[in-house]
Amino acid sequence: MAHDTHAATHHHTSMGLDSRKMAFWAFIGSECLLFGSLISTYLVYKGRSLVGPYPHEILNIPFTSFSTFDLLMSSLAMVLALAAVQRGDMKQGKLWLLVTALLGLVFLGGQFWEFSHFVHEGLGLTTNLFGSTFYVLTGTHGAHVTIGVIWLLTLWVQALRGKLGPANAMTVEITGLYWHFVDVVWIVIFTVVYLIQ
């Protein structure tokens, strides 16, 4: 997925946009519908749980605000990583790729802690509709973050082996597109699930 055809970047394209990047935009459009359907399901079932725990009893806004901040910072690191790779500064590039991945890992760690805490508090996947919709929605997002972290670490290893340079800037740019998209989705989830109860 990552590096296949940097030759493609040199190809003539009718729209003047790299084909892989265009495909990625199409993919993101598709992902919007995926998360849109999950968020709609969450909203449709809001307040329809037959038994507790209910959202207001269990959601920890300060903690999740920290996770959200962490993810936003990872987007910043991603921007720095791309800029470094584009100008050929692979030292900085490697650093910021790693920082982005680590911030992603911190977010996942937070989600793991949050999930296990909720289970401990009595909210399982099948406890009520809130549990089901919450875990499936945030879990799907977490899976996206996981894929992003693996992707970033793959790029980082490539960079360590000296196989990532300005010639592959498009690969890093697409990774960044994905990463930013996953962040934006989290902002929406954070707002819908945590802030507007």
Partner 1 sequence: MKSWLTTTDHKRIGLLYFWTAFAFFLIGGLEALIIRAQLVRPEGIGVSAETFNQLFTMHGTTMVFLALMPLSAAFFNFIIPLQIGARDVAFPRLNAFSYWVFLLGGLFLNASFVAGPLFGAGQLSVAPDAGWFGYANLTSRQFSPGPNVDFWLLGLQILGIASLAAGFNFVVTILNMRAPGMRMLRLPPFTWMTLITQFLVITAFPVITVALVLLMFDRFFGTHFFLPSGGGDPILWQHLFWMFGHPEVYILILPAMGIVSEVLPTFSRKPLFGYTVVVYSGVVIAFLGWSVWAHHMFASGLGPIADSVFAGTTMLIAIPTGVKIFNWIGTLWGGQIRFTTALLFAVGFIAMFIIGGLSGVTHASAPTDLQQTDTYYVVAHIHYVLFGGTILGLFAGMYYWWPKMTGRLLSERLGKVHFWLTLIGMNLAFFPMHLSGLLGMPRRIYTYSPDLGVAGFNLVSTIGAFLVGIATLVFFWNLLRTRWQPVNAPANPWNGATLEWAIPSPPPVYNFTVIPTVANRLPLWQTERHGPMAPLPERPPAPIHVPGGSWWPMITAVGLPIMAIGALSHFLPVVLAGAVVAIVGIYGWAFEPFEM
Binding site for partner 1 (CB under 8 A): 1-5, 7-8, 11, 13-15, 17, 19-20, 22-23, 26-27, 29-31, 33-34, 36-38, 41, 44-45, 48-50, 125-126, 128-129, 132-133, 136, 154
Distance CA 97, CA 82 (A): 8
Burial of 125 (0-12, 13-18, 19+ CB in 10 A): middle
Q: Residue 14 or 91: which CB sits closer to partner 1?
A: 14
Least distance (Å) between residue 19 CB and partner 1 = 5
**184-189 long-range Cβ contacts below 8 angstroms, 24+ apart:** 185/31, 185/35, 185/141, 185/144, 186/68, 186/71, 186/141, 187/68, 188/35, 188/39, 189/35, 189/39, 189/137, 189/138, 189/141
Least distance (Å) between residue 67 CB and partner 1 = 24
Least distance (Å) between residue 116 CB and partner 1 = 17
Least distance (Å) between residue 150 CB and partner 1 = 9
Q: Residue 5 or 65: which CB sits closer to partner 1?
A: 5
Q: Residue 38 or 98: which CB sits closer to partner 1?
A: 38
